[in-house]
Structure 1
Amino acid sequence: MDKTFHIITFGCQMNVGDSDWLTRALVARGWRQTTEEHAWCFVVNTCSVREKPEQKVYSELGRLAAYRRGKPGLLAAVGGCVAQQIGQGFFERFPFVRLVFGTDGIAAAPDALDRLAAEPDARVALLDFLPAYPEREDVLHPHAPHPAPAFDADAGEPDAGPAQAFVNIMQGCDNFCAYCIVPHTRGRQKSRAPQAVLDECRARVEQGAREITLLGQNVNSYGLDSGGCGVGFAELLRRVAAIPGLVRLRFTTSHPKDIDPAVIRAFGELANLCPALHLPLQAGSDAVLARMGRKYDRTRYLGIVEGLRAARPDIALTTDLIVGFPGETEDDFAQTLDMMERVRFESSFSFRYSDRPGTASVRMTPKIDETVAQARLLRLQSLQNDITKETLKRLEGSEAVVLLEAKSRKQDEGPSFWRGRDEAGRVVNLRLDDAGGGAPDGFRRDPAGLLVRARIVEAKNHSLVGERAGQPW
């Protein structure tokens, strides 16, 4: 079989990081990443947090099945949360799927794909949960290509560029929130050994990464699982921040119930810890939060926000919100809108509740009428759009340091725009060249990975437009 591959990624940044590692692991084995038109092996990395992404996986496999009729021998692999959930059922529904690997099975996926390339009739399932964090092989040698995986645009734009790196610090979750399928598809929490995290972070910086994002289902509970690792998240954060050459440090995702005061203080004490935090609220009503099993209330959440803004006044807060959870009243929903007004989240991922198999909320009643839930979601998203616009508008005239990622979708005639992110993670489209074309003074032909001081000249609905205010570095 021609060892060419194409990865399609759905879902969260954990999946983006997993696809990034799998890409590098396959390239190190002699595989070649290519476009969909030229690939003979497709890897679909899946998400089952919501019903829509799960259905998109089936749709994508159906599309590949039709595409396969013109390319006999095409091989597909399904990984991630839906693979963990459905397992070998994919073999029956889609015969050209020859590998399914769960969230702990990804470490063995490159070897399995090598085997399948050599054995056309073989099938492999890697679905067991492991008792400890499954370390992955080191594919960080300086000559390994590092192409970004294809990404599902509806799930959000990945923060991936040549100077950015994702590093897993844990796997799974022990919280068992009533609505959440993650503990069932990613297993119980397993913290990665701190030395392994530090070694990978140092290696990525040595290869040119200027920004690292630490990843986990709940990074705030790092080290608190039954196996433990002797180090808490606040200490791990400080150790990573001290790596020479690391310009920016981020982490996601945080559970409010576990955030350590030392982590809050770190935002004011660590110069390279970015002033941005994704802190899922999920609902603004104490009654709904209790039914969700979130183990915090409005007062606790607002106290965390107050502490964060005392430590770092310019911190940008984003969140997740669920509308229409079983039993949610109009007053409950109004309290969610009130929390949005109080906190002023810069952006949010908001969804209408849907039952996920195996979760406690499946049995909860009353279910909210879909028409009512959809109307609430639209009201919430309208309020968020207004807050986002106001927040971005206030940044006009200010300066920011932008880490360039890729050429921007915004391209007027003449000037060239590049997309990057400021310290808080906001998207900034930055004009780099003059109308005559060519790279400006101080810029290489491909400026991805450069840091540029920019002056914000215009706020769009969800992004900023800037002009450079200094030389790159």
Structure 2
Amino acid sequence: MKFHILTFGCQMNVGDSDWIRRSLLAADWKESGEDDADVFIVNTCSVREKPEQKVYSLLGRLARHVARRPAVFVAVGGCVAQQVGETLFQRFPFVRLVFGADGVANAPSAIMRLASESGTRISLLDFTDRYPERAAAFVDDALTAQAFVNIMQGCDNYCAYCIVPFVRGRQKSRSSDEVVAECREFAARGVKEITLLGQNVNSFGLDTAGDGTSFAQLLERIAAIPGIMRLRFTTSHPKDLSDDVISAFGRLSNLSSALHLPLQSGSDHVLKKMGRRYTIATYLEKVRKLREARPDIALTTDIIVGFPTETEDDFRETVEVVQTVGFAGSYSFMYCDRPGTAASRLDSKVEDEVKARRLAELQAVQEKLTQTHLCQAVGTRQRVLVEGASSNKDGSLAAWRGRDEYGRVVNFTCSSSADMTGSICDVDILEAKKHSLWGKAV
């Protein structure tokens, strides 16, 4: 059987899709393109409205494949599947499996069962009390130098705008021994960089499913595994970023000099309405401590523009904080109501044209900050983990693409004709592009 996976949304979805992919490959299924796939697996996101609408558009397009080959079926997972559930069966008859985040562990076996039972439909939408451990799926020729490792599932914060607790459930930490064992196995198979994933990794171990290991202690154990040259994590909630985790940036040399720390707003008034449970003063104090521990750390963030009740003064405060911190990059979005959230019931909605104007202004400010950050790298030497060939060329020399320890994309030339994918290479940075760096291998 042949399968094709399409993934929307966050890195947790990317990690889930990769595990499903490796599980099917381990069962002797084949990965294929769209035209000859027997099964389509669509991993969805509903954090914002636009990705959700993209899913419905995609399913409409996949209907053409089913019309041409009636045995083809679709499995829909992720947040949209959890949100709308079995209504997908009625709206799209060729959808035969829906599964939420807690159903991922059983998705590969369900897909294989459906391939042999033409009239069956399966729903895996129940939340579990504990993190549902997954069978090992280490397929050497399906691994790269980078790997995602889930350390938890769900979230207990219930920020006013966020649908995640409703579609991913309450927080459930994995056993720290299971996490370390998975990281150790990846390292033994040549993985050099591991990214730890969770809705709020800083609160790892603080729920009833935790085994007493804090996130800082987990970082220490994983960083000590031989072969792990880079360790990253996402996403962090500022209120739970402890001094122990901050000091880890000063202690652990293979902890990457990059951190994504969502701000969401630079206004205390808006943060309170959002239910974020920190102030701008406490956020900036954590930034100060991070830069004290790791002076060169590159900080990125998330920002919502036009949250209900946001005034022009609130927005100005956000721009000021962005400039004060000097974020290396940010993901910024216009607020949109998500079903079931507290913010969807708030009055004083900001008009769309005002949100659009504010977003454009904020993104223009960020573009300048990002360019400054990239320009500061020119003339330096960076260690780049090579992800593959680059589409950028410089004459007849081979060009490669990777990321440095700050998470920046680096395209570079190399005189060697060998395949450099998966290697770590020293690169002299020669030029800053709009969103990336250009250099030459040493």
Q: Is this a same-fold pair by TM over 0.5?
A: yes
Task: Specify the code of the residue in structure 2 equivalent to 1:403.
Answer: L
Mapping for residues 452-467 of structure 1, pairs under 5 Å: 452-467=425-440
1:156 aligned residue: none
* Cα shift at 1:447: 1.2
Aligned equivalent of 1:232, options 199, 214, 219: 214
1:22 aligned residue: 20
State the distance in 2 between where 1:38 and 1:447 align.
31
Structure 1 ranges of 4+ moved more than 6 A: none
2:201 aligned residue: 219
* Cα shift at 1:144: 4.4
* Contact 2:174 2:209 survives alignment (8 Å): no
For the pair 1:8 / 2:21, whether they are aligned, the reply is: no
CA 1:346–1:173 in structure 2 vs 1: closer, same or farther (change >3 Å)? same
Task: Specify the code of the residue in structure 2 equivalent to 1:402.
Answer: V
Mapping for residues 386-405 of structure 1, pairs under 5 Å: 386-405=368-387
CA 1:35–1:403 in structure 2 vs 1: closer, same or farther (change >3 Å)? same
State the distance in 2 between where 1:118 and 1:240 align.
41
Task: Specify the code of the residue in structure 2 equivalent to 1:169.
Answer: I
Aligned equivalent of 1:273, options 233, 255, 258: 255
State the distance in 2 between where 1:399 and 1:431 align.
14
Q: How many positions carry a matched residue from both structures?
A: 442
2:346 aligned residue: 364
Aligned equivalent of 2:145, options 156, 163, 167: 163
State the distance in 2 between where 1:54 and 1:124 align.
21
* Cα shift at 1:413: 4.2
Mapping for residues 423-442 of structure 1, pairs under 5 Å: 423-433=405-415, 439-440=416-417
Aligned equivalent of 2:173, options 178, 181, 191: 191
1:115 aligned residue: 113
Give the % identical residues: 57
Local SS of the residue matching 1:288? helix
State the distance in 1 between where 2:391 and 2:11 align.
22
- Give the TM-score normalised by the residue count of structure 1: 0.92
* Cα shift at 1:228: 2.3
1:300 aligned residue: 282
1:407 aligned residue: 389
Task: Specify the code of the residue in structure 1 equivalent to 2:353.
Answer: T
Over aligned residues, Cα RMSD in angstroms?
Answer: 0.9
Task: Specify the code of the residue in structure 2 equivalent to 1:313.
Answer: P
Aligned equivalent of 1:127, options 125, 128, 142: 125
State the distance in 1 between where 2:107 and 2:62 align.
20
2:296 aligned residue: 314
* Contact 2:301 2:330 survives alignment (8 Å): yes
Deviation per CA, 1:250-304, whole angstroms, max 9, x where unpaired?
Answer: 0000000001101000001101001100000000000000000000011000000
Deviation per CA, 1:416-446, whole angstroms, max 9, x where unpaired?
Answer: 211100011110001123xxxxx34xxxx32
- Give the TM-score normalised by the residue count of structure 2: 0.99
* Contact 1:404 1:450 survives alignment (8 Å): yes
State the distance in 2 between where 1:144 and 1:401 align.
25
* Contact 1:27 1:145 survives alignment (8 Å): no
Task: Specify the code of the residue in structure 2 equivalent to 1:48.
Answer: S
Unaligned runs of 5+ in 1: 148-161, 434-438
* Cα shift at 1:382: 0.6
For the pair 1:146 / 2:142, whether they are aligned, the reply is: yes
Task: Specify the code of the residue in structure 2 equivalent to 1:225.
Answer: D
Mapping for residues 167-182 of structure 1, pairs under 5 Å: 167-182=149-164
Task: Specify the code of the residue in structure 1 equivalent to 2:439.
Answer: G
Local SS of the residue matching 1:254? coil
Task: Specify the code of the residue in structure 2 equivalent to 1:103.
Answer: A
State the distance in 2 between where 1:333 and 1:123 align.
48
* Cα shift at 1:412: 4.4
* Cα shift at 1:67: 2.9
2:225 aligned residue: 243
Deviation per CA, 1:40-97, whole angstroms, max 9, x where unpaired?
Answer: 1000000010000000000000010123222221110000010000110110000000
Task: Specify the code of the residue in structure 1 equivalent to 2:285.
Answer: G
